[in-house]
Amino acid sequence: MNKVEADERRLTDYAMGELDAPAAEELEQLLQRPENADARDAVEEIRRVAALLSTAYREEVARTPDLGQARLERLAGSRGPAKGRWWSRRLVLAWSAAAVVVAGAGLLGYGYLERERSAPRTDNLAGGEGDIEQAVPGGMYSHKNLKSFGLATAADTGAALNTRPRDAAMNTESYDYVRGNDFLEVVHNPLSTFSIDVDSASYANVRRFLRSGCLPPAGAVRIEEMINYFDYRYPQPSGDRPFSVTADVAEAPWNPGHRLARIGIKGREIPWDERSPGNLVFLIDVSGSMESPNKLPLLKKALRLLLERLDERDRVAMVVYAGASGLVLDSTPGNEQGKILAALERLRAGGSTHGSAGIRLAYEVAARNLIRGGNNRVILATDGDFNVGVTDQGSLVRLIERQAAGGVFLTVLGFGMGNYKDSTLEKLADHGNGNYAYIDSLREARKVLVRQAGGTMMTIAKDVKIQVEFNPARVQAYRLIGYENRLLAAEDFNDDTKDAGEIGSGHTVTALYEVVPVGVCFHGRGVDPLKYQRPARAAAPAEGSDEIMTVKIRYQEPDGGTSRLIERPVVDSGGSLRSADPDFRFAAAVAAFGMLLRDSQFKGKATFGLVEDLAASARGRDPHGYRAEFEELVERAASLWRQRR
């Protein structure tokens, strides 16, 4: 009675992730038997159909005409005459702004669309049909994704089951293609707008590659995440502001004619004991791929570090997912340590991953136990290898995005290697009001979950956006270093409905611009001189100003409401690199390192030697040895690079 027929219903239920754990395990055992090869193929076929259907519906949804302004106005106005009118104005304004964004992206070819997080799905007002790139939810279909649209996705989805190769046998890690930001001329693009990003996963992942003797793939190197891995000594905010803003300028080390402008943000440090009560739901991947020692066993040790610091103010629940998902610990007060740690210890790996059901369940548990004004958070710990069920990236991201609207934040902890899905995890955190860290060792776990637990666990401002206006009288062109997948349209800055990054307690965020001053020889990418616009030199009102740029930052309180604005003009006093703050030099060293690893066309005179010198001159106080470790990685990379040649 071991034969499984190819048209049995339980195969569908299994592929849909709807079998309970014992039944799924039993079936998995049976499917491994030689006589059940047909049934195994059937499971794969079902998954392919599922992936095709998901894609087909997604396309159809994207092409579906939305409600339109008139209906939106009526909908917004239905609340009552006085307020109604006000609402409807706001609503319509927001919507027309969105329309302009898409039209702009389409016409001017700025390339917003080829970057992630471009236009949300409702913004497809530009044309009825809309091409695929534009129409896909979340606008997250970059080159790589577009290529794998459809059957390729089906193949990915179908590759799961028990035939999954061991880590060493085959590398199926996935990284998105990232195109480095180009120089933009101030005359054509006076505004630069982006969302902050506090993630640091990329650095830890790059470190893992270098330590194992490989240069990382370019897509794994996200320069802003490398820079933001390190702490910088920016001042604590004054007054009741959630963060301080620092801005300064010095020479660009890889191109002495150019200037490097730094924007630094420091989130207010809230002592751990003064944190708001937590409603934490751990969502833990216990699928077969989590079995290796650097995954589930490390995960347990890591989470233990955090769990032990919780107390009676907090509530903890645990949801696991694999072939089936389930609640292994219902919401429990944080001081019942014995019960919580026992649940953690019981976790075992097995089965294939059905992430979406688990995510849904975790958010449900979080919503049921919602603490008003508290830290409501789902903490997803996984290698990101979602395989079973309707788990194409698009619908997962959409699911997370919706759940995030309900006030539950997300922390993504990535583990392991071999089939590590960096691109998926980054997107999930990005769309889920969340942050994302990669944990490759217990040491890293201590950094993320103990030393920086405040930043990881306590959000102090959300939807933080930066807009820089450059003064054409002082600056010819500029280039934002990193943040490629965080770029926003200029109009998004004042649009509070546009999602952006979050800052946690004590977090530091650094952004660097390479700036080409007026008077330095610069050849842009060759736009014809404008016939009707006034040239840069003649920008009269700005002429007398020493300011090279104005930094504007918008943010919202963690529980929403109208955004606030911080503005700060920046003057370049002509400082040299040597006289710059050591933290400035260190951030510049990390940026140069990132450009070298990406073999960026903008690396200029940067060499590994230059990076080492810069970093060595900026080591300063390095209590945890992070900066010393950086120098060690630069050496490794330099030697790997030499061997490559």
DSSP string, 589-644: HHHHHHHHHTT-TT-TT--HHHHHHHHHTT----TTSHHHHHHHHHHHHHHHHHHH
How many residues touch another protein (CB under 8 A)? 71
Q: Exactly one of 40, 121, 208, 259 binds another protein (CB under 8 A); which one? A: 121
* Kind and range of the H or E run holding 250: strand 243-251
Q: Exactly one of 66, 345, 546, 567 binds another protein (CB under 8 A); which one? A: 66
- Determine, following the binding rule CB under 8 A, whether residue 58 of this chain makes contact with another protein: yes
Task: Quote the Cα angle for 10-358-395, to 5°.
Answer: 90
- Determine, following the binding rule CB under 8 A, whether residue 83 of this chain makes contact with another protein: yes
Per-residue interface string for the shown chain with another protein, residues 84-103, x marking contact by CB under 8 A: ---x--xx--x---------
Contact 117, 140 (CB under 8 A): yes
Based on CB atoms, which residue is closest to another protein, 49 or 327?
49
- Determine, following the binding rule CB under 8 A, whether residue 360 of this chain makes contact with another protein: yes
* Kind and range of the H or E run holding 205: helix 201-211
Q: Exactly one of 330, 364, 557, 635 binds another protein (CB under 8 A); which one? A: 364
Per-residue interface string for the shown chain with another protein, residues 154-193, x marking contact by CB under 8 A: xx--------------------------------------
Site for another protein in 585-624 (CB under 8 A): none
- Determine, following the binding rule CB under 8 A, whether residue 59 of this chain makes contact with another protein: yes
Whole-angstrom CA distances from 603 to 178, 182, 383, 481 are 16, 12, 32, 11
- Residues 156 and 392: their CA atoms lie apart, in Å, by 9
- Determine, following the binding rule CB under 8 A, whether residue 7 of this chain makes contact with another protein: yes
- Determine, following the binding rule CB under 8 A, whether residue 545 of this chain makes contact with another protein: no
Stretch that binds another protein, among 110-118, 151-159, 542-550, 565-573 (CB under 8 A): 151-159
- Determine, following the binding rule CB under 8 A, whether residue 52 of this chain makes contact with another protein: yes
- Determine, following the binding rule CB under 8 A, whether residue 120 of this chain makes contact with another protein: yes
Count of alpha carbons within 13 angstroms of residue 391, beta-carbon side:
29
CB atoms within 10 A of CB 577: 16
Stretch that binds another protein, among 64-72, 416-424, 527-535, 582-590 (CB under 8 A): 64-72
Site for another protein in 370-389 (CB under 8 A): 370
CB atoms within 10 A of CB 72: 16
Based on CB atoms, which residue is closest to another protein, 190 or 358?
358
Q: What are phi and psi of 9, to 5 degrees?
A: -65, -30
Spatial neighbors of 645 by CB under 8 A, at least 6 apart, are none
Q: Exactly one of 298, 357, 549, 551 binds another protein (CB under 8 A); which one? A: 357
Contact 138, 394 (CB under 8 A): yes
- Determine, following the binding rule CB under 8 A, whether residue 576 of this chain makes contact with another protein: no
Contact 89, 459 (CB under 8 A): no
Q: Exactly one of 20, 32, 37, 74 binds another protein (CB under 8 A); which one? A: 74
Contact 421, 383 (CB under 8 A): yes
CB atoms within 10 A of CB 420: 28
Stretch that binds another protein, among 49-57, 275-283, 301-309, 501-509 (CB under 8 A): 49-57
Site for another protein in 484-523 (CB under 8 A): 496-497
Whole-angstrom CA distances from 632 to 207, 232, 360, 554, 629 are 10, 20, 42, 37, 5
Q: Exactly one of 64, 96, 579, 639 binds another protein (CB under 8 A); which one? A: 64
- The distance in angstroms from the start CA to the end CA of the chain is 59
- Residues 571 and 577: their CA atoms lie apart, in Å, by 16
Buried b (16+ CB within 10 A) or exposed e, 517-553: bbeeeeeeeeeeeeeeeeebeebeebeeeebbbbbbb
- Determine, following the binding rule CB under 8 A, whether residue 218 of this chain makes contact with another protein: no
Shortest CB 74 distance to another protein, Å: 7
- Determine, following the binding rule CB under 8 A, whether residue 65 of this chain makes contact with another protein: yes
Shortest CB 340 distance to another protein, Å: 22
- Determine, following the binding rule CB under 8 A, whether residue 143 of this chain makes contact with another protein: no
- Determine, following the binding rule CB under 8 A, whether residue 122 of this chain makes contact with another protein: yes
Based on CB atoms, which residue is closest to another protein, 66 or 629?
66
- Determine, following the binding rule CB under 8 A, whether residue 53 of this chain makes contact with another protein: yes
Per-residue interface string for the shown chain with another protein, residues 388-427, x marking contact by CB under 8 A: --x----x--xx-xx--xxx--------------------
